[in-house]
Chains A and B, each alone.
Chain A
Amino acid sequence: EIVLTQSPTTMAASPGEKVTLTCRASSSVSYMHWYQQKSGASPKLWIYDTSNRASGVPNRFSGSGSGTSYSLTISSMETEDAATYYCQQWSSNPYTFGAGTKLELK
């Protein structure tokens, strides 16, 4: 099973600040996907196939990476971006998720 390790676990960012969330895989994966989950709500697909924004996702969000290291970047933090972000892979069964990064507004 491929283990995904997200860092940091929790962070706070000020409006306008650049934010980078990291996801490291225990073995090389072909793609990484990201989900946003706000408190009390279901997860939403945010970034798929490493770098593609899902429908409706603002272009201040971007994804990048390869092999065992991937990242999600917010170019300029906004209030509405406060949420927990999970990475997910399926290069081999089973599907696995990272433990999440909780992003708070400073």
Chain B
Amino acid sequence: EVQLVESGGGLVQPGRSLKLSCAASGFTFSNYGMAWVRQAPTKGLEWVATISYDGSSTYYRDSVKGRFTISRDNAKSTLYLQMDSLRSEDTATYYCARRKLRYFDYWGQGVMVTVSS
């Protein structure tokens, strides 16, 4: 059974940093691209970043470029999202998702990030 379990969320002040983790199990992690998708409270889904199966390629939405870094450790079957210079508009539930090229076939339960002073 595919499982994606996010952790690392919480309350953080504007301008500070936070690192999210996503522990994967039930599939060969190193064979799949992965992604982070977020959802602000009462809002829709918004793609944040994508990483290739081997970590060699990464893509970001414009609003997080230069502030967020997606990475992975295939030996640990873990995906990461380093978030720096956080803004109030980054407040959201962050989902880890397995990427099937054009779409996302499995999602984690999500982790809440609140950016507020």
Contact = CB atoms under 8 A, between A and B. Distances in A.
Interface centre among B47, B59, B102 (most CB of A within 10 A): B102
Contact of A48 (B37, B62, B100, B106): B100
A90 B103 contact: yes
A42 B44 contact: no
Interface of B: 35, 37, 44-47, 50, 59, 61-62, 95, 100-110
A97 B95 CA distance: 14
The 5 closest A-B pairs by CB, nearest first: A95-B47, A33-B103, A97-B45, A42-B107, A90-B102
B95 A43 contact: yes
Interface residues of A, number: 22
6 contacts: A35-B45, A42-B107, A45-B107, A94-B61, A97-B47, A100-B44
Contacts of B108: 42
Interface string A65-106: 000000000000000000000101010011111111000000
Interface of A: 31, 33, 35, 37, 42-45, 48-49, 54, 86, 88, 90, 93-100
Contacts of B61: 94
Which of A88, A98, A100 is the most central at the interface, judged by chain B CB atoms within 10 Å of its CB?
A88
